Amino acid sequence: MNSILLAIIAVFIILILYDMRIFIRNKEPAKVYVLYFFLMGAGLIVSLLLAAGIRPVAPSRLIEAVFKMIGIAK
Amino acid sequence: MGKTRISGLQLFMLLSGFLFGSTVILAPALGAKNDAWLAIIIGGTGGALLMLIYAAISLLNPSKTLVEILKEKMGKVLGSIIAVLYIWYFIHLASLVFRDFGEFICTVTFPETPMTVLISIFALGVVYGVNGGVEVMGRMGELLVPIIPTFILIVSVSLITVNDFTAFLPVLENGMGPVLKAALSYITFPFGETVAFLMLFPNLNRKEKLKKIVFVSAALSALISIVIFFRDISVLGSDLMSRVTFVPHSTTLLFPEANVDPLVDINLMIGGEAKIGVCIYAATKAISQVAGIENYTNLTRAVGAFCVVLSVWDFENVLDLFSWTERIYSYYAITFQVIIPLILLVLSLIKRSKPAEGSDADNEGVIASK
Amino acid sequence: MFGRIRERYREAKHKFANVRVDASSYGPIPGKIKAVQARLDEIFSQCNDLVIKEISCGKDGRIKILVVHIEGIVDRRLLNQDVIHPILDYLPSVQSEDSSSIYQQLSKCIVISSDIKEVHEMWQAVNFIVSGDAVIFIDGEDRALVVGVKSPEGRQVEEPDTETSIRGSREGFVENLPTNMVLIRKRIKNPDLKMEIMQLGERTKTDICICYIKGLANEEIVREVKERLGKINTDAILDTGIIEQYIADNRLTLFPLVGNSEKCDKLAGKLLEGRVAIICDGTPYVLTVPYLFIESIQATDDYFDHAFFASFMRLLRLLALLTSNLLPALYVALVVFHHTVIPFKLMITLAASQQGIPFPPFIEALLMIIAFELLREAGVRMPRPIGQALSIVGAIVLGEASVAAGIASNLMVIIVAITAVCSFVVPPLIRATMLIRFVFLAAANFLGFLGIMVAVVAVFTHLCTLRSFGIPYLAPFSPLTAHDLKDSLIMVPIWAMITRPKILRQQENVRGVKGSKRQEVDKGRDSQKG
């Protein structure tokens, strides 16, 4: 369990460092940072949760629920 | 970033690779069993029409990507909201394809490797390609996509000895109902998914070719699907076909003498690369256009990572995946593939837009011809 | 924190950028001969090979002339016969005091040479002295005469070692720039063959010649070449390899983006296709620009042979290229991951050969490949007489003994041998192959066929992003220019090649076919759309 968590965190950190290097060198505007960390953060949180065994509600479930509500799907 | 151009042939290859993508792994129009070929023909026609609608939208708004069209026709606020929905759709699409391929390779070739690892490696390759830009993706398509039909034909021809040509009879045993339903699902997957190309069409160097390219690649894809179908049903029989998870793979297992399925499977991944590449490109480009960022390559890795995570998160197992796809996907997709584009088409016809800055003046004739 | 590091880096760069040898500090040529002598002694102090000959002339020997040259670089006989001798013959009879008339006489009638120049600045004179010319200073004149008496000594024109050809000329370039220029001129007798000389390297002042055929070569590319060469700001240019690394589009790639050649006919062929050549004094390797991937598969002999044979050879070379890169990786992938793909009979042999090997296949392959690379490098570096012994040691030790000792399996030795042989079939890509092989091997070990495929796609993507001077590296395959395919993997016979490579975007797109009707037809065609 622990090793998987560590692996996930390691991978994300490598990706983030690599991208930070590029962002800082090119002096990207703040928008880029915001979006980037939003996406990476979401990914990181979800993957950590998955590794821990908790399955948060999947988007597909939500979409299914929406369509069931509208009454199209069964 | 300046606009990079791709040639007609490269776009054609990308489109074809996209359409081959998932269909060479999962048999299309399975719901109709023996009559799937009818469903493919009907669906193929519908799909071609749908793609022509996309082409028309692109031609009516020359040199504008989907996001730009949305913002223009529907006003900045509403357009941006719908663009964000599309971004979500593209990301979701990419992760669905990741999951499809991941399940495929995991089940068939590498049973002992965790799927996350496989998908991540795959994603690395795709993201590297997307980062190179449309031009690089076009060139890759030009070089690699022709491999897919070649392999399919080789396998099909070698399997002629094992065939039972009458297996697709009787025709229309269950009536037209399942056929139409299957045709509908064939339209949404894969034809409707080419809505992602609306982010790419502006990069074509000569706009007049667009309609022809779109039509020919749709026709080619439908044709190859029919070939695959007849091959599969003649080799496997309709009963087996409806039970097996990955139909064309099972067919390849029956290749005489040599055990070539790993080789073939790997080559089919090229289609997956094309599809996912285009989806991630569309998503990242859309994000960069909605948020006003110059260089989309900064976000490809983040989007890619998120897609990988989403693909693992979304479904618990392959049965979940298939059942969701069968039931919900068509309705979900129609919103993005049909409803909104039709609205856009109508709006485009009503208010013709001027060409964007930097495009060539020969687009005037194109607008008039539609 | 990064800001500070960046500051320091910038400072250091600035400091070293100003260590330029300041040529203009030499000043103008002094009028008095004594001053000239003093200046020369100062500039060339401790240069014992500088020879200054003083000749007196004029009334009472009042006007002195200095003939300055560097011993050895100058052709002694030429100098004596054409310069010193006539001067000594004539000058004693001069009676005038006027130094400028002496100067006129010397330059117009006395010195026998077709190459006489005039200089006004000291640094120019010094430049010519160190380049091998003789400079004549006259008392009272602030200009000097430069006489070209360079010695053309050097290696003889002979067959290049690294590029042999079965059919075709054996002439290879030498280290002397004028000789190389002559070798090209002899083959292309056309005033449109432009040769522009410039000097590179602050301290070495190496002569570089840019060579192209005006009207055939793309003007943009010529301009780009000159611009990039002009930007080179370094001490020493010793070889075209150094120039290559400075002017290449992408410096981080393993693949060569600038071609080179030692053979004259090959270079002439490339010039006629519209490429630009860069010749450097002191090295027989001439650069050609732009360089496309397909050129590594082409060879000059292809054009002299029948087209079918040449096409077959090209496909064979491509196959060799693929094999040398992928074979070890495929083997490892098969053995480690995909046992089911191996045919049954071979499986038994494989299993038997794998028995008793202490390493996993990946390590085994790695060891054998590294051993082979060591052998190869040693073979290049060591002096000739020992070479024989080395090849025997290599063959016996690496081949037989390692199998017998159980370090490697028979099959692995065969595979590495085939790989090595194949890698020599495509010489320009040997270096790239060396490294990429390991990438594929590692990918195969990690994820079998999927790993190989992702690696192949990654390499492909990389190739797709490469450009050589603006031309996409993988032309003519992508973007697909149908016209240029006639000389890519498949070759059509020479009489059918009526258009030049379109991708280089020539201004004059049609080759003149000798006296055939095609010339009339093609002249009208405007094939400018590239």
Is C449 touching B (CB cutoff 8 A)?
yes
At C232 the pLDDT is 82
Which among B135, B140, B266 has the least Cβ separation from residue C450? B266
**B127 to chain C, closest Cα gap in Å:** 10
| ipTM rounded to 2 decimals | 0.88
Is B1 touching C (CB cutoff 8 A)?
no
**B274 to chain A, closest Cα gap in Å:** 23
What count of CB pairs under 8 Å joins A to B? Answer: 81
Chain B residues near residue C461 by CB distance under 8 angstroms:
125, 128-129, 132, 136, 140
Q: Count the domains in chain A.
A: 1
3-state secondary structure of C38: helix
Chain B window 300-359: which residues touch C at a Cβ cutoff of 8 Å?
none
Please choose, from the candidates B36, B44, B12, B66, the residue with its C-alpha nearest in 3D space to the C-alpha of residue B209: B12
CA distances in angstroms from C64 to A47, C34, C58, C520, listed in the order given: 91, 9, 8, 67
* CB contact (8 A) between residue B313 and residue A46: yes
* CB contact (8 A) between residue B298 and residue A72: no
d(CA C324, CA C425): 9
Look up residue B204 and give its DSSP letter: B
Q: pTM of the predicted model, to two decimals?
A: 0.79
**B324 to chain A, closest Cα gap in Å:** 8
- Chain B residue with minimal CA distance to C473? B139
Q: How confident is the model at residue C59 (pLDDT cuts 50, 70, 90)?
A: low
- Contact yes or no for C196/C210 (Cβ under 8 A): yes
Q: What is chain A's pLDDT, residue by residue, as a tens digit (74 residues)? A: 677 788 888 888 888 888 888 888 887 778 788 888 888 888 888 888 888 777 777 888 888 888 887 776 55
Please choose, from the candidates B99, B97, B79, the residue with its C-alpha nearest in 3D space to the C-alpha of residue B20: B97
Most confident of B164-168, C30-34, C454-458: C454-458
Please choose, from the candidates B51, B296, B53, B291, the residue with its C-alpha nearest in 3D space to the C-alpha of residue B187: B51
Please choose, from the candidates C276, C338, C167, the residue with its C-alpha nearest in 3D space to the C-alpha of residue C504: C276
At B108 the pLDDT is 76
Which of the two residues, C154 and C428, has the higher pLDDT score? C428
d(CA C137, CA C65): 6
Chain A residues near residue B295 by CB distance under 8 angstroms:
26
At B206 the pLDDT is 76
User: In the predicted model, what is the mean pLDDT of chain C?
Assistant: 79
At B172 the pLDDT is 67
At C471 the pLDDT is 80
pLDDT(C101) > 70: yes
- Chain B residue with minimal CA distance to C453? B266
At C58 the pLDDT is 66
Residues C215-241 have a mean pLDDT of 83
Question: What percent of chain C has pLDDT above 70?
Answer: 87
* CB contact (8 A) between residue B306 and residue A50: no
* CB contact (8 A) between residue A35 and residue B293: yes
Q: Which two tokens stand for residue C435?
A: 């490294």
Question: CA neighbours within 13 Å on the CB side: how many for C357?
Answer: 23
pLDDT(C406) > 50: yes
Q: What is chain B's pLDDT, residue by residue, as a tens digit (370 residues)? A: 446 777 888 888 888 888 887 777 777 766 667 777 788 888 888 888 888 888 888 888 777 777 777 777 777 788 888 888 888 889 998 888 888 888 888 887 777 788 888 888 888 888 888 888 888 888 888 888 888 888 888 877 877 776 666 666 666 666 777 778 788 888 887 888 888 888 888 877 777 778 888 888 888 888 888 888 888 777 777 777 777 777 777 777 777 666 677 666 666 678 888 888 888 998 988 888 888 777 778 788 888 889 988 888 888 887 888 888 877 887 888 888 888 888 888 887 877 655 544 444 444 434 443 3
Which among B132, B259, B269 has the least Cβ separation from residue C465? B132
Least confident of C123-132, C358-367, C381-390: C381-390
Range of the domain at A27: 2-70
Instruction: Please list the residues that pair with C55 across neighbouring strands.
Output: C65
At C441 the pLDDT is 92
| CB atoms near residue C400 (< 10 Å) | 12
CA distances in angstroms from C196 to B17, B132, C278, listed in the order given: 49, 37, 10
At C440 the pLDDT is 93
- Chain B residue with minimal CA distance to A48? B309
* CB contact (8 A) between residue B324 and residue A19: no
Chain C residues near residue B143 by CB distance under 8 angstroms:
460, 464, 474, 477-478
At B16 the pLDDT is 87
At C14 the pLDDT is 66
Is C337 touching B (CB cutoff 8 A)?
yes
| CB atoms near residue C140 (< 10 Å) | 17
- Chain A residue with minimal CA distance to B93? A60
Which among B298, B301, B327 has the least Cβ separation from residue A73? B327
Q: In order of start, what are the domains of chain B with their CATH numbers?
A: 8-369 (1.20.1740.10)
Residues C139-167 have a mean pLDDT of 79
pLDDT(C485) > 80: no
pLDDT(C523) > 50: no
- Contact yes or no for B133/B140 (Cβ under 8 A): no
pLDDT, tens digit, for every residue of C373-405?
Answer: 888 888 778 777 777 777 777 777 777 888 888
Among B89, B298, B325, B335, the strongest candidate for a mutation testing the A interface, having the largest count of A CBs within 10 A, is B298
Chain A residues near residue B83 by CB distance under 8 angstroms:
none
At C329 the pLDDT is 92
- Chain B residue with minimal CA distance to A58? B314
Q: What are phi and psi of C470, to 5 degrees?
A: 90, -15
